[in-house]
């Protein structure tokens, strides 16, 4: 060996062949690795796109299901509440029909004995709950000795019985075409100009052979805004009308379903007049002045007027309207015995809120 000379590595033929195969194998592995990385990246992107698409579809499907479920749930509530209101009014009408039947029986029979005493408006009884008020309208020619006056006294016990049976009533009474009024319980708030024959409930009863229901009006006895059911009875003295009063506030305890304080309930009659809604009251109105009725058919919002028309037509369904600038879902169903309609509403944002929450959850998960 000479100093300063670099040693030369000598490969035999076999080693050279192995080196060639090794280089080729390494190149193949590198190429396969690069291809695998590209393939995995493509699969990842595809999976992400697929996941996003599935998330979007899930949000859309869940939103549609939630809206549909809310509509069906509200229709079911409206239908159930309409049936409840129907039963309440049907019960009142049945009681009034019994009272009318009793009126026919006493027409020819002066009162025998009664546990209820009658007093005029000017005389306060010892216990108003054990007394009726008897009143003769201005201009009436009736005298206390007349057969009709005496016969009508036979209604006192039945008036009291109906009042005590139905805890929702504030007054039960009978009025005659001649100008007599007998009412239970005794109340002394009738003004000297009061004439039952001029009241809407009296005229409505005379014009129908069925039980008539009034629109809301201010009560002459100070009970605020009331509804009156009335029925006429033809007698040999002329027409008698039996009637009972329920306050709008009492009716609202049955109709004002608020869906956890977020909803709003409305009762319409067959002409679209609002019979009951939250906040409806007499205000400063007087009994001898017309009460300004609200009517859904004349609403300025076309959507609300359309829903009102559907309700008056006796349909069951769902509509979308704006209440005080808020988009609102309204479900309605008929009160069949009266051809009235009940509706319950819910702000749309109360439905949208869980949709937004669901969408955020799905998006975050994808």
pLDDT for the residue numbered 314: 94
C-alpha gyration radius of the chain: 40
Please determine, for residue 212, whether its predicted confidence score (pLDDT) is greater than 60.
yes
Please determine, for residue 257, whether its predicted confidence score (pLDDT) is greater than 70.
no
Confidence band (pLDDT; 50, 70, 90) for 282? very low
- Both structure tokens of 342: 């009940």
Tell me the percentage of the chain whose pLDDT exceeds 70.
68
Please determine, for residue 31, whether its predicted confidence score (pLDDT) is greater than 80.
no
Residues 265-288, mean pLDDT to the nearest whole number: 68
Cis omega (within 30 of 0) for bond into 181: no
Residues 217-243, mean pLDDT to the nearest whole number: 86
Query: 85 burial class (0-12, 13-18, 19+ CB within 10 angstroms)?
Result: buried
pLDDT for the residue numbered 352: 58
Please determine, for residue 52, whether its predicted confidence score (pLDDT) is greater than 60.
no
Mean pLDDT, the chain, integer: 79
Helix (H, G, I), strand (E, B) or coil at 228: strand
Q: Which residue has the higher pLDDT, 348 or 244?
A: 244
Which ranges of the chain would DSSP assign to H, the alpha helix?
A: 13-106, 147-152, 156-165, 200-206, 248-255, 302-312, 349-365
Beta strand pairing status for 238-247 and 225-235? antiparallel
Task: Indicate the helix (H) or strand (E) that contains 218.
Answer: strand 217-218
pLDDT for the residue numbered 355: 54
pLDDT for the residue numbered 326: 78
Largest CA distance in the chain: 163
Tell me the percentage of the chain whose pLDDT exceeds 90.
37
Task: State how far the Cα of 48 lies from the Cα of 19, in Å rounded to an integer.
Answer: 43
- Both structure tokens of 277: 């809604």
Confidence band (pLDDT; 50, 70, 90) for 22? low
Q: What is the pLDDT of residues 299-327, one digit of tens each?
A: 888 888 899 999 999 999 998 888 777 78
CB within 8 Å of 99: residues ≥ 6 apart? 155, 158, 159, 162, 172, 174, 231, 242, 244
User: Which of these, 217, 222, 223, lies nearest to 199 by C-alpha position?
Assistant: 217
User: Which of these, 346, 325, 364, lies nearest to 66 by C-alpha position?
Assistant: 346
For the question of whether the overall pTM of this predicted structure is more than 0.85, the answer is no
Out of 47-56, 114-123, 203-212, pick the least confident. 47-56
Contact yes or no for 317/247 (Cβ under 8 A): no
CB within 8 Å of 311: residues ≥ 6 apart? 268, 272, 296, 332, 334, 341, 343
Please determine, for residue 346, whether its predicted confidence score (pLDDT) is greater than 70.
yes
Confidence band (pLDDT; 50, 70, 90) for 211? very high
Residues 230-258, mean pLDDT to the nearest whole number: 86
pLDDT for the residue numbered 53: 54
Out of 62-66, 131-135, 332-336, pick the least confident. 62-66
Q: Which residue has the higher pLDDT, 14 or 180?
A: 180
Domains of the chain: 67-89+254-365 (3.30.450.20), 94-249 (3.30.450.20)
């Amino acid at each position: 060996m000479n100093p300063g000379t670099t040693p030369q590595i000598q490969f035999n033929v076999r080693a050279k062949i192995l080196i060639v195969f090794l280089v080729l194998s390494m190149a193949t592995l590198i190429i396969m690795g690069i291809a695998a990385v590209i393939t995995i990246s493509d699969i990842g992107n595809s999976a992400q796109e697929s996941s996003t698409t599935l998330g979007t579809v899930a949000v859309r499907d869940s939103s549609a299901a939630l809206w549909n479920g809310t509509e069906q749930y509200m229709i079911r509530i409206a239908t159930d509440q309409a049936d409840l209101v129907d039963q309440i009014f049907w019960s009142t009408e049945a009681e009034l029909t019994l009272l009318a039947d009793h009126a026919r029986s006493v027409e020819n029979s002066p009162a025998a004995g009664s546990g209820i005493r009658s007093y005029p408006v000017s005389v306060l009884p010892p216990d108003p709950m054990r007394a009726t008020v008897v009143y003769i309208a201005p201009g009436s020619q009736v005298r206390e000795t007349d057969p009709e006056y005496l016969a009508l006294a036979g209604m006192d016990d039945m008036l009291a019985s109906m009042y005590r049976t139905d805890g929702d009533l504030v007054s039960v009474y009978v009025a005659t075409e001649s100008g007599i009024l007998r009412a239970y319980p005794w109340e002394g708030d009738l003004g000297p100009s009061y004439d039952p024959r001029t009241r809407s409930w009296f005229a409505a009863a005379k014009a129908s052979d069925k039980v008539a229901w009034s629109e809301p009006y201010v009560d002459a006895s100070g009970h605020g805004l009331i509804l009156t059911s009335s029925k006429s009875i033809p007698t040999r003295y002329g027409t008698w009308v039996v009637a009972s009063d329920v306050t709008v506030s009492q009716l609202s305890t049955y109709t004002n379903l608020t869906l956890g304080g977020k909803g709003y309930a409305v009762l319409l009659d067959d002409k679209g007049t609002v019979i009951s809604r939250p906040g409806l009251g007499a205000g400063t109105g007087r009994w001898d002045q017309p009460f300004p009725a609200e009517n859904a058919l004349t609403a300025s919002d076309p959507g609300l007027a359309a829903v009102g028309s559907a309700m008056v037509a006796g349909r069951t369904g769902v509509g979308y309207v704006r209440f005080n600038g808020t988009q609102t879902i309204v479900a309605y169903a008929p009160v069949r015995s009266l051809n009235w309609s009940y509706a319950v509403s819910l702000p749309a944002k109360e439905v949208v809120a869980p949709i937004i929450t669901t969408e955020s959850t799905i998006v975050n998960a994808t």
